[in-house]
Structure 1
Amino acid sequence: MTRREAIVPANRHALYEMHRYSAAIRSGDFLFVSGQVGSRPDGSPEPDFEQQVRTAFDNLVNVLEAAGCTLEDVVDVTTFHTDPAAQIETVMAVREKAIGGPPYPNWTAVGVNWLAGFDFEIKVIARIPEGA
Protein backbone atom coordinates (compact mmCIF):
# COMPACT_ATOMS: atom_id res chain seq x y z
CA MET A 1 0.00 0.00 0.00
CA THR A 2 1.32 3.44 -0.92
CA ARG A 3 1.80 5.68 2.08
CA ARG A 4 1.34 9.40 1.93
CA GLU A 5 4.40 11.58 2.43
CA ALA A 6 4.07 15.23 3.44
CA ILE A 7 6.04 17.69 1.31
CA VAL A 8 7.39 20.73 3.12
CA PRO A 9 8.79 23.57 0.99
CA ALA A 10 11.64 25.84 2.08
CA ASN A 11 10.38 29.07 3.65
CA ARG A 12 7.19 27.36 4.75
CA HIS A 13 4.61 30.06 5.38
CA ALA A 14 2.57 30.55 8.53
CA LEU A 15 -0.71 29.34 7.00
CA TYR A 16 0.37 25.69 7.16
CA GLU A 17 0.70 25.87 10.94
CA MET A 18 -2.28 28.17 11.48
CA HIS A 19 -4.69 25.89 9.62
CA ARG A 20 -2.93 22.54 10.20
CA TYR A 21 -2.45 21.21 6.69
CA SER A 22 0.38 19.94 4.52
CA ALA A 23 1.55 21.96 1.55
CA ALA A 24 1.41 18.78 -0.52
CA ILE A 25 1.14 15.03 -0.20
CA ARG A 26 3.13 12.62 -2.32
CA SER A 27 1.30 9.37 -2.98
CA GLY A 28 3.03 7.00 -5.38
CA ASP A 29 4.10 9.04 -8.38
CA PHE A 30 1.48 11.74 -7.86
CA LEU A 31 1.74 14.99 -5.93
CA PHE A 32 -1.45 16.50 -4.53
CA VAL A 33 -0.79 20.16 -3.75
CA SER A 34 -3.04 21.98 -1.30
CA GLY A 35 -4.56 25.27 -2.34
CA GLN A 36 -1.91 27.96 -2.56
CA VAL A 37 -2.82 31.59 -1.96
CA GLY A 38 -1.01 34.88 -2.33
CA SER A 39 0.10 35.10 1.26
CA ARG A 40 2.91 37.05 2.77
CA PRO A 41 5.35 35.07 4.97
CA ASP A 42 3.25 35.87 8.06
CA GLY A 43 0.16 34.36 6.41
CA SER A 44 -1.61 37.63 5.67
CA PRO A 45 -3.10 38.28 2.21
CA GLU A 46 -1.17 40.29 -0.38
CA PRO A 47 -3.54 43.28 -0.87
CA ASP A 48 -2.93 43.91 -4.60
CA PHE A 49 -4.94 41.33 -6.57
CA GLU A 50 -2.48 40.82 -9.44
CA GLN A 51 0.41 40.46 -6.99
CA GLN A 52 -1.74 38.08 -4.90
CA VAL A 53 -2.17 35.83 -7.96
CA ARG A 54 1.56 36.02 -8.82
CA THR A 55 2.46 35.17 -5.23
CA ALA A 56 0.05 32.21 -5.25
CA PHE A 57 1.81 30.88 -8.36
CA ASP A 58 5.22 31.51 -6.72
CA ASN A 59 4.07 29.59 -3.64
CA LEU A 60 2.85 26.79 -5.91
CA VAL A 61 6.22 26.61 -7.67
CA ASN A 62 8.01 26.40 -4.30
CA VAL A 63 5.87 23.44 -3.25
CA LEU A 64 6.37 21.70 -6.60
CA GLU A 65 10.13 22.20 -6.40
CA ALA A 66 10.22 20.69 -2.90
CA ALA A 67 8.91 17.47 -4.47
CA GLY A 68 11.22 17.58 -7.51
CA CYS A 69 8.49 18.87 -9.85
CA THR A 70 7.91 21.90 -12.06
CA LEU A 71 4.80 23.45 -13.54
CA GLU A 72 5.36 21.22 -16.59
CA ASP A 73 4.55 18.20 -14.40
CA VAL A 74 1.10 19.58 -13.49
CA VAL A 75 -1.77 17.59 -15.00
CA ASP A 76 -4.78 19.05 -13.21
CA VAL A 77 -5.51 22.56 -11.87
CA THR A 78 -8.39 23.91 -9.81
CA THR A 79 -8.62 27.64 -9.12
CA PHE A 80 -10.97 29.42 -6.76
CA HIS A 81 -12.09 33.03 -7.38
CA THR A 82 -14.13 35.41 -5.22
CA ASP A 83 -15.21 37.49 -8.25
CA PRO A 84 -14.52 35.43 -11.39
CA ALA A 85 -15.93 37.88 -13.93
CA ALA A 86 -13.82 40.76 -12.65
CA GLN A 87 -10.69 38.68 -11.99
CA ILE A 88 -10.39 36.27 -14.91
CA GLU A 89 -8.38 38.52 -17.25
CA THR A 90 -5.75 39.16 -14.58
CA VAL A 91 -5.61 35.48 -13.64
CA MET A 92 -5.27 34.42 -17.28
CA ALA A 93 -2.41 36.90 -17.89
CA VAL A 94 -0.49 35.62 -14.86
CA ARG A 95 -1.33 32.02 -15.77
CA GLU A 96 0.00 32.45 -19.33
CA LYS A 97 3.36 33.70 -18.04
CA ALA A 98 3.57 30.88 -15.47
CA ILE A 99 2.19 27.91 -17.42
CA GLY A 100 3.17 28.86 -20.98
CA GLY A 101 1.80 27.26 -24.12
CA PRO A 102 0.18 23.95 -24.99
CA PRO A 103 -0.28 21.26 -24.04
CA TYR A 104 -2.17 22.82 -21.16
CA PRO A 105 -3.12 20.96 -17.98
CA ASN A 106 -6.79 20.30 -17.19
CA TRP A 107 -8.25 23.39 -15.55
CA THR A 108 -11.38 23.98 -13.48
CA ALA A 109 -12.25 27.46 -12.20
CA VAL A 110 -14.73 27.79 -9.34
CA GLY A 111 -16.42 30.94 -8.05
CA VAL A 112 -16.57 31.07 -4.25
CA ASN A 113 -17.69 33.61 -1.69
CA TRP A 114 -14.99 33.03 0.94
CA LEU A 115 -11.25 32.25 0.88
CA ALA A 116 -10.25 33.29 4.41
CA GLY A 117 -9.44 36.85 3.35
CA PHE A 118 -7.89 35.94 0.00
CA ASP A 119 -9.36 36.44 -3.47
CA PHE A 120 -7.60 33.64 -5.38
CA GLU A 121 -6.43 30.11 -4.62
CA ILE A 122 -4.82 27.46 -6.83
CA LYS A 123 -4.46 23.73 -6.17
CA VAL A 124 -2.92 21.16 -8.49
CA ILE A 125 -2.15 17.51 -9.06
CA ALA A 126 1.22 16.75 -10.63
CA ARG A 127 2.96 13.62 -11.79
CA ILE A 128 6.33 13.30 -10.07
CA PRO A 129 9.15 12.70 -12.59
CA GLU A 130 11.14 9.48 -12.33
CA GLY A 131 14.07 9.89 -9.99
CA ALA A 132 12.60 12.88 -8.15
Structure 2
Amino acid sequence: MQARDVVFPSGRQALYERNRYSPAIRSNGFLFVSGQVGSREDGSPEPDLEAQVRRAFDNLNAILAAAGSSFDDVIDVTIFMVDPASKFETVWKIVPEYWGQAPYPTLTGVGVTWLYGFDFEIKVIARAPEGVAAR
Protein backbone atom coordinates (compact mmCIF):
# COMPACT_ATOMS: atom_id res chain seq x y z
CA MET A 1 0.00 0.00 0.00
CA GLN A 2 1.24 3.44 -0.88
CA ALA A 3 1.74 5.86 2.02
CA ARG A 4 -1.05 8.37 2.53
CA ASP A 5 -0.30 11.91 1.39
CA VAL A 6 -1.41 13.69 4.58
CA VAL A 7 -1.93 17.45 4.74
CA PHE A 8 -1.48 19.16 8.12
CA PRO A 9 -2.39 22.78 8.83
CA SER A 10 0.27 24.78 10.58
CA GLY A 11 0.35 24.43 14.36
CA ARG A 12 -2.31 21.73 14.80
CA GLN A 13 -0.43 18.50 14.10
CA ALA A 14 -0.28 17.55 17.80
CA LEU A 15 -4.06 17.86 18.06
CA TYR A 16 -4.56 15.46 15.15
CA GLU A 17 -1.94 13.04 16.48
CA ARG A 18 -3.63 13.05 19.89
CA ASN A 19 -7.01 12.27 18.30
CA ARG A 20 -5.48 9.76 15.85
CA TYR A 21 -6.73 10.93 12.45
CA SER A 22 -5.46 12.86 9.45
CA PRO A 23 -6.86 16.34 8.80
CA ALA A 24 -6.79 15.71 5.03
CA ILE A 25 -5.56 13.15 2.52
CA ARG A 26 -4.59 14.03 -1.05
CA SER A 27 -5.39 11.29 -3.56
CA ASN A 28 -5.80 11.18 -7.35
CA GLY A 29 -6.24 14.93 -7.75
CA PHE A 30 -8.65 15.31 -4.85
CA LEU A 31 -8.34 16.47 -1.26
CA PHE A 32 -10.50 14.60 1.27
CA VAL A 33 -10.81 16.78 4.37
CA SER A 34 -11.88 15.37 7.73
CA GLY A 35 -14.79 17.06 9.45
CA GLN A 36 -13.75 20.38 10.97
CA VAL A 37 -15.31 21.79 14.10
CA GLY A 38 -15.03 25.16 15.81
CA SER A 39 -12.25 24.13 18.14
CA ARG A 40 -9.85 26.40 19.90
CA GLU A 41 -6.10 25.76 19.63
CA ASP A 42 -6.28 23.27 22.53
CA GLY A 43 -9.13 21.36 20.85
CA SER A 44 -11.89 22.58 23.16
CA PRO A 45 -15.20 23.80 21.71
CA GLU A 46 -15.80 27.49 21.10
CA PRO A 47 -18.94 28.07 23.23
CA ASP A 48 -20.66 30.75 21.11
CA LEU A 49 -22.40 29.17 18.08
CA GLU A 50 -21.54 31.94 15.59
CA ALA A 51 -17.90 31.97 16.71
CA GLN A 52 -17.85 28.17 16.58
CA VAL A 53 -19.05 28.12 12.95
CA ARG A 54 -16.47 30.76 11.98
CA ARG A 55 -13.71 28.77 13.68
CA ALA A 56 -14.81 25.61 11.85
CA PHE A 57 -14.51 27.44 8.53
CA ASP A 58 -11.17 28.98 9.59
CA ASN A 59 -9.88 25.51 10.53
CA LEU A 60 -11.12 24.15 7.19
CA ASN A 61 -9.51 27.02 5.26
CA ALA A 62 -6.18 26.41 7.04
CA ILE A 63 -6.19 22.82 5.78
CA LEU A 64 -7.19 23.86 2.27
CA ALA A 65 -4.40 26.46 2.21
CA ALA A 66 -1.85 23.91 3.46
CA ALA A 67 -2.77 21.81 0.41
CA GLY A 68 -2.49 24.76 -1.97
CA SER A 69 -6.29 24.92 -2.33
CA SER A 70 -9.05 27.28 -1.28
CA PHE A 71 -12.79 27.09 -0.79
CA ASP A 72 -13.13 27.84 -4.51
CA ASP A 73 -11.74 24.32 -5.11
CA VAL A 74 -14.40 22.65 -2.95
CA ILE A 75 -16.66 20.29 -4.87
CA ASP A 76 -18.73 18.59 -2.18
CA VAL A 77 -19.72 19.70 1.34
CA THR A 78 -21.29 17.75 4.17
CA ILE A 79 -22.37 19.65 7.27
CA PHE A 80 -23.44 18.13 10.56
CA MET A 81 -25.50 20.12 13.03
CA VAL A 82 -26.84 19.37 16.49
CA ASP A 83 -30.50 20.45 16.73
CA PRO A 84 -30.70 21.96 13.24
CA ALA A 85 -34.29 23.15 13.75
CA SER A 86 -33.08 25.73 16.29
CA LYS A 87 -29.59 26.43 14.91
CA PHE A 88 -29.92 26.39 11.12
CA GLU A 89 -30.73 30.10 10.63
CA THR A 90 -27.81 31.17 12.84
CA VAL A 91 -25.41 28.88 10.99
CA TRP A 92 -26.70 29.70 7.51
CA LYS A 93 -26.32 33.45 7.90
CA ILE A 94 -22.55 32.91 8.45
CA VAL A 95 -21.97 30.53 5.53
CA PRO A 96 -21.94 33.24 2.78
CA GLU A 97 -18.94 34.86 4.49
CA TYR A 98 -16.89 31.80 3.48
CA TRP A 99 -18.83 30.15 0.67
CA GLY A 100 -17.87 32.36 -2.27
CA GLN A 101 -19.82 32.91 -5.45
CA ALA A 102 -21.94 30.60 -7.61
CA PRO A 103 -21.65 28.00 -8.86
CA TYR A 104 -21.71 26.54 -5.36
CA PRO A 105 -20.46 23.12 -4.28
CA THR A 106 -22.89 20.28 -3.68
CA LEU A 107 -24.23 20.10 -0.13
CA THR A 108 -25.58 17.47 2.22
CA GLY A 109 -26.85 18.54 5.64
CA VAL A 110 -27.19 16.03 8.45
CA GLY A 111 -28.91 16.59 11.78
CA VAL A 112 -27.17 14.76 14.62
CA THR A 113 -27.63 14.38 18.35
CA TRP A 114 -23.99 14.63 19.39
CA LEU A 115 -20.71 16.09 18.06
CA TYR A 116 -18.36 15.66 21.02
CA GLY A 117 -19.39 18.97 22.59
CA PHE A 118 -19.68 20.88 19.32
CA ASP A 119 -22.79 22.09 17.47
CA PHE A 120 -21.45 22.27 13.90
CA GLU A 121 -19.03 20.31 11.73
CA ILE A 122 -18.07 20.72 8.06
CA LYS A 123 -16.43 18.07 5.86
CA VAL A 124 -15.41 18.65 2.24
CA ILE A 125 -13.92 17.11 -0.86
CA ALA A 126 -11.90 19.56 -2.98
CA ARG A 127 -9.74 19.57 -6.07
CA ALA A 128 -6.07 19.33 -5.15
CA PRO A 129 -3.74 21.34 -7.37
CA GLU A 130 -1.16 19.22 -9.15
CA GLY A 131 2.48 19.60 -8.17
CA VAL A 132 1.77 21.16 -4.77
CA ALA A 133 3.42 19.23 -1.96
CA ALA A 134 1.69 18.91 1.39
CA ARG A 135 3.08 21.20 4.04
Give yes or no for TM over 0.5.
Answer: yes
| 1:60 and 2:41 correspond | no
Q: Which residue of 2 aligns with 1:126?
A: 126
User: 1:14, 1:119 → 2: CA distance?
Assistant: 23
User: 1:22, 1:81 → 2: CA distance?
Assistant: 22
Q: Which residue of 2 aligns with 1:84?
A: 84
Q: Which residue of 2 aligns with 1:34?
A: 34
Letter in 2 for 1:82: V
Deviations 1:99-130 (A, max 9, x none): 12210000000001111111100000001124
User: Which runs of structure 1 show a deviation greater than 2 angstroms over 4 or more consecutive aligned residues?
Assistant: 1-4, 129-132
Pairwise CA RMSD of aligned residues? 1.6
- CA 1:2–1:17 in structure 2 vs 1: closer, same or farther (change >3 Å)? closer
Q: Is the 8 A contact 1:36 1:57 kept in 2?
A: yes
Deviation at 1:2, TM superposition (A): 6.8
- When normalised by structure 1's length, the TM-score is 0.93
Unaligned runs of 5+ in 2: none
User: 1:13, 1:38 → 2: CA distance?
Assistant: 16
Aligned residue pair count: 132
Deviations 1:48-71 (A, max 9, x none): 000000000000000000000000
Deviation at 1:15, TM superposition (A): 3.9
Q: Which residue of 1 aligns with 2:95?
A: 95
Unaligned runs of 5+ in 1: none
User: 1:64, 1:114 → 2: CA distance?
Assistant: 26
When structure 1 is superposed on structure 2, of 111-120 and 84-93 the one drifting more is 84-93
Q: Is the 8 A contact 2:8 2:66 kept in 1?
A: yes
User: 1:72, 1:131 → 2: CA distance?
Assistant: 18
Structure 2 counterpart SS, 1:60: helix
Identity of aligned residues (%): 62
- When normalised by structure 2's length, the TM-score is 0.91
